[in-house]
Every structure is written in structure tokens, then in C-alpha cells.
Amino acid sequence: MELPPQLRRAVDHMLSGTTLAELATAAAALSQRYREERRDGKLHISSDKDALAYLAVRLPATFAAIRASFAAIAAARPDFAPKTALDVGSGPGTALWAAVDCWPDLAEALLIEASPIFRAWGERLAAEVYPPQITWRIVDIAEENIDCAPGDLVTLAYVLNEIDPDIRRPVLQQLWRVTADVLVIIEPGTPAGWQRILTARRQLIESGAHVIAPCPHAYACPLQPPDWCHFVGRVARSRLHRLAKDATVPWEDEKFSYIAVSRKPAAAAAARVIARPRKASGRVTLKLCRHDGSAGEQLFSRRDGALFKRASRSHWGSSL
């Protein structure tokens, strides 16, 4: 996946005034904070350098993850065409750019962010990308209620892990309250990220939400540790991204876990592909999470006819 050209150009423009050495140092420090899931009362992005490092090395990856989850939602709910969006913990507006890419009719967005520095960089980006009408609010959702009209699409991307575990439940309650249709929560695709998604999933189902992706059911998750449900978004690396991360390959695979729920049910998929398909001549093995709440591997061969063709075309994350 490539960033949309306008966003790519805007990000490159923002980064043009910074040196590679500065970017690499800030990116390494930021990655360390994220890896440790540090919650020390400080925001991870507290300087311009942090924000620029995020634009260079994290925004492309979180964009890929968010966009992939939106693709699954669009497939599950072809009727869903959001006009309004609410993005909480918006950072530079990543989820909004992914939403506009998926649903071009999106007209209005409210972006809530605790870091004034991040918001400022988000505003600069927005000025170059010509997005929908945006309202920004500096709000710490740990301290203040989210007070706004319900949005068609509500997103919380890579934020839950930064929120104190004790207040995640009331924050999710608030998000569900301001969801007119679809709420999506995305976390890093680690076992810990998946556990946070599972807890959110249980809470939202109890609140009456319909699961629309990735699970093809609302039963308890059939996966058991050390296994965990996660997906991968592949994003092309710019030259600067490659150099800042000292990486050799021209792409990055971003692992993510997510849950998308809605106030309206979606037509149920038979199954979701939950690992990379293993393909051999005339055969494909898929790891599936199924409509009946079970999960496991299934072999498809040419004898399965049309089903084999569909299985061969499927990818990690698609529904079957």
C-alpha cells in the first residue's frame, strides 16, 4: 500500500527541513517508548522532533493498518458511506486520511487530540491535503468527557494502549455513546494489543453493538494464547523512512489488531482469513475464524471448485 500521493507529498514537505540524523534519533526514541508501552504520565509526542519522527516512520504504518481495517468494514457493510467522522487521539489525522481514501464522500470530521504539538502538525498537513471540513479539539479524554454530536464513523487508533487501564471502560462507553453507526478500535498487533481489543469487544457486545469485522461472529474469541488475532498492513517506505529506520527492504509490515462494531448488523461472512494463506500447486491452506465461533486450518483443493478459486484469491484479513 502506498500513502495517497497528496498525503505523501505533504509529509515529505513537512520533513524537508529536518536532517536525517535528527530524524533517526527521534524515531529511535519514539519506537522505544511505543515498544515499552510506557505510561509515565507524559505524552509520547511532546516536541516538534517527536512529531516529525512520527510523520516519517509511524504515520505510514498506522495509515496502512487503519486503511486495511476500513477495507474490511467497507466489504462487510457496502451500504456504509459515512458523512461525519470523529477521531479520538487523532495524532496528525492519520485515521481521517485513511477514511477519506476509503469513503471519499466524508464531509466533516472532529479530531480530538491531547497534544497541542501534534495538533499543530496535523493542521499543517491538512492545509496541504485539502481534506473535509475539520474541527480540532485539544481534549485529554482521561480528564474530560467527549461532548459532541454522534459521528457516522468513530475511530480510536493506536490510543487505547496510551490510556490508563482503569479508565478504558468509561472512555469506550463514551465513544459508543457518540457513535451513530460504526466504531473502530485499532491497536498494535501484539498479544497485549489483542487482549485490549478482546476486552473492548466484550464490553461493546454487552452494550448491544454488532460486530462487523474482523470476527464473523459475536461468540467468545476461539483463539488461545500464545496464539493471537492480528493482521498485517504492508506499506511502501519512502527513501527517508528507510534511512531513518536503517531498514534494507522498501516496505514495512505493520501488525495490528482491531475490532469494528456497529449499531446495525452486517450480513454475516462465513469466515475470516486470520493468517497468511499457504499456497502450493492446486492447494491452499487457510487459517479461518468461522461463523460458528470456531477457528482452525482448512485445506482447499481444485476439487472444491469455485470455493478453491475464492480461497486462492483470498488474503490475510479477507472474508470468505
Residues making contact with ligand SAM (CB under 6 A): 43, 45, 59, 62, 89-91, 94-95, 113-115, 118, 139-142, 157-159, 162-163
Which cell numbers in the block locate residue 77? 457493510
Residue number, 40 or 79, with CB nearest to ligand SAM? 40
Provide the 8-state DSSP code for 57: I
Residue number, 90 or 262, with CB nearest to ligand SAM? 90
Q: How far is the CB of 34 from ligand SAM (least distance, A)?
A: 7
Q: How far is the CB of 245 from ligand SAM (least distance, A)?
A: 16
Q: How far is the CB of 314 from ligand SAM (least distance, A)?
A: 26
Which residue's Cβ lies closest to ligand SAM? Answer: 91
Burial class (CB in 10 A: 0-12, 13-18, 19+), 56: buried
Task: Please answer whether residues 240 and 56 qualify as being in contact, where contact means their C-beta atoms are separated by less than 8 angstroms.
Answer: yes
Residue number, 143 or 206, with CB nearest to ligand SAM? 143
Apex 281 CA angle, 275 and 283, nearest 5: 50
Burial 145-184 (b: 16+ CB within 10 A, else e): ebeeeebbbbbbbbbbbbbeeeebeebbebbbebbbbbbb
Report the relative pairing of strands 251-262 and 231-236 from DSSP bridges.
antiparallel
- Ranges assigned E (strand) in 103-177: 108-113, 133-138, 151-157
Q: How far is the CB of 47 from ligand SAM (least distance, A)?
A: 13
Residue number, 115 or 314, with CB nearest to ligand SAM? 115
Please tell me the total number of residues recorded for the chain in this structure: 320
Residue corresponding to grid cell 487505547:
160
Q: How far is the CB of 79 from ligand SAM (least distance, A)?
A: 26
Provide the 8-state DSSP code for 206: H
Helix axes 191-206, 165-177, angle to 10 degrees: 50
Q: How far is the CB of 297 from ligand SAM (least distance, A)?
A: 32
Residue number, 103 or 118, with CB nearest to ligand SAM? 118
Residue number, 7 or 320, with CB nearest to ligand SAM? 7
Residue number, 37 or 292, with CB nearest to ligand SAM? 37
Q: How far is the CB of 118 from ligand SAM (least distance, A)?
A: 5
Nearest partner of 183 among 146, 135, 219, 220, judged by Cα: 146
